[in-house]
Amino acid sequence: MEFLIDYGLFFAKSVTVLVVIALVLALIASNKQKISGQNKGHIEVKNLNETFADYTDAIKSVVLDEAQLKKEHKDKQKQEKQDRKAQKKSTEQVPERRKRVYVIDFDGDIKASANSSLREEITAVLGLAESQDEVVIKLESGGGMVHSYGLAASQLTRITEKSIPLTVCVDKVAASGGYMMACVADKIVAAPFAILGSIGVVAQLPNFHRLLKKNDIDYEMYTAGEFKRTVTMFGENTEKGRTKFLEDLEKTHVLFKDYVQEHRSVVDVDKVATGEVWYGRRALDERLIDELKTSDGYLLDQAQKADIFRVEFTQKKSLPEKLGFAAESTLDRLLVRWLSRVQSKRWF
């Protein structure tokens, strides 16, 4: 028992030293970055056709025998030679280029934090994309704040306003604010069991008024404007305030329904705007989507006739962020190791 107490104290001291060092280094690095004003991110582009080809080559290298591999190599060289000759002959006429597909990932949380990356990625793509190309958004989101997802949907309209085809692929979920984004697309493709819909608005908050009153604690709030606050967490909510709050929710719901109807006129909005969700197959019946297919299947099909590029805005992590992540990982590992040894009654 005494050893366990000594070890616990040693562990606590070690953790404290690590945290203090990390905080000091983070403070120094933060000050340096403020002075330098460095750019925090950049665009990265990856050719997915090459990635798919690498996968295929890796399988062939194991599955095919040596004679088959040699034949494959000769056929490939022959085809490349023919392509070069055809290109030389077309000196007077500019050859038509292949379609380009630009792929952007959006993984949404309740605040639609990926908005900052999405705007940069779309700006980068719009600098080159043309009407013969296509933008594919791989969307995963269960929704969140109205204004945040309204902005995300507006970012996607920048693509359609340029007359560039927009496709949204949903593998898991595009509900509520996520579906608000998806309905902007010219085409929505979803996996058979992806969750879609939830065209509704929800708000909830606890109220501690009775608890405060029971303990003789006063809560005072001053506002200018009759409905500056309708319901609160600590004050006594009135029927008038609740009624106004519900009216505001209903207005937001109407805006949501109108938005879906504007961008996806094939949908019977009154039928689907009940807050319900549908799995992919049922969503297709309700015309919430256009096709059942995973994003992987859709992109692999496109690779036969188009050049596919994954576009990502990569945030440059500051040294404080890196140190914080490293310190967190170290603490996690130490805690896991300590708990495992305590549980198994083994010590250092």
176 is catalytic: yes
Residue 97 per-residue DSSP state: P
Per DSSP bridges, beta strands 187-190 and 195-197 are: unpaired
Would you list the DSSP string of 108-165?
Answer: --TT-TTHHHHHHHHHHHHTT--TTSEEEEEEEB----HHHHHHHHHHHHHHHHTT--
Q: Which amino acid would we find at residue 155?
A: Q
CA distances to 59, 70, 71, 268 from 65, in Å: 11, 9, 10, 56
Q: Which of 34, 89, 228, 345 is catalytic?
A: 228
Cα(first)–Cα(last) distance of the chain, in Å? 14
Residues in the chain: 348
How far is the C-alpha of 104 from the C-alpha of 317, rounded, in Å? 20
CA distances to 159, 172, 173, 234 from 267, in Å: 22, 21, 18, 42
Contact 272, 256 (CB under 8 A): no
How far is the C-alpha of 217 from the C-alpha of 111, rounded, in Å? 33
In degrees rounded to 5, what are phi and psi of residue 192?
-55, -30
Q: Which of 117, 176, 198, 295 is catalytic?
A: 176
88 is catalytic: no
Task: State the catalytic residues.
Answer: 176, 228
